[in-house]
Amino acid sequence: MNECRQRMMRKSKNNRTGLEVECIKQLMAMDNELAMKIFGDAASDGITILNPETNTAYDSLDDISSNISYLNHDTVIQMNKTCKVFYASIKPLNRTNTVTVDHIPRSARVFQYGGDLNREIGSLDIMLKEYCEKRESKKCKQDMLLISLDSMKDEQINKSVCKVIRYFTFTGTETKRSPIESNAVLLFDSKNINKMQFHRCVTRKEKKNFIGLNMVKYVLSLRDGKTPIKETELCEPWIYRDVKKNGSVKVCDRLHIRT
């Protein structure tokens, strides 16, 4: 299996973190009173946590796997009173370095002709050109607040970047759409479950509002990766060559956005 194929397969798999597994376990043990506090009246009869791969309730805590394939959400929460189901992504509350767009090259399938984000490539090229110029002139280091870029003041570029963030938050990976989109976000504090926040993101407007609330937190960078030589020309608009003091060059060409 060649390197490119291996990378695509890794990106197509959602590997749960220990925090996400802990969150699911606490959701399964949650009483109705706390469920109502977090999820509202729809949870007055409690909630049921479903296995994302089988869409059935877990038999025990031991059934929670750390790996779920080709899904953009981490858990499935059913409101027992209404039977409404939420496909939720789990994010840490009050913690930095939560990745949204993870080392994605310009050559990724999602940016190519027919891909969900192909029409956004022009706007991303302009934004990342400014980023590279600022790094070259030492006006920023590797990490830079997204909203500090002048190009983000352009309505079309801002709209495109928000669409990219929305896609990777709710819709899919660099290779394909998830079979079921996420329609909720859970912000989880492992030290205090009472601080858990539930954000309903069912409609397009709700998804846009969630991204908008977090826009001031997003941090942009270009990270290094082993891009195949045949893809280098395609990735060139996103390449920043980081020349070290010893003369070595680190090629940074992977789009990375985190909070």
Q: What band does 168 get if pLDDT is binned at 50, 70 and 90? A: very high
φ, ψ at 188 (rounded to 5°): -120, 130
Average pLDDT, the chain: 87
- Picking from 17, 20, 23, the residue whose alpha carbon sits closest to that of residue 192 is 23
pLDDT category at 96 given cuts 50, 70, 90 is low
| pTM, to two decimals | 0.86
Q: What is the pLDDT of residue 155?
A: 96
Separation of alpha carbons 39 and 239, rounded Å: 44
58-67, 148-157, 233-242: which range is least confident on average? 58-67
β-partners of residue 12 are: none
Cα–Cα distance, 14 to 62 (Å, whole number)? 19
Number of H helices, E strands in the chain: 7, 12
* CA 236/CA 110 separation, integer angstroms: 17
What's the Rg (C-alpha) of the chain?
A: 20
Integer Cα distance of 85 and 90 in angstroms: 15
pLDDT value of residue 136: 87
Q: What is the pLDDT of residue 160?
A: 97
More confident residue, 93 or 144: 144
Q: Kindly indicate the confidence band of residue 10, based on its pLDDT and cuts at 50, 70 and 90.
A: very low
Give just the sign of the alpha carbon dihedral 27, 29, 34, 36. positive
Output the CA angle 191-192-193, nearest 5 degrees.
120
Q: Worst-scoring range by mean pLDDT, 73-77, 164-168, 198-202? A: 73-77
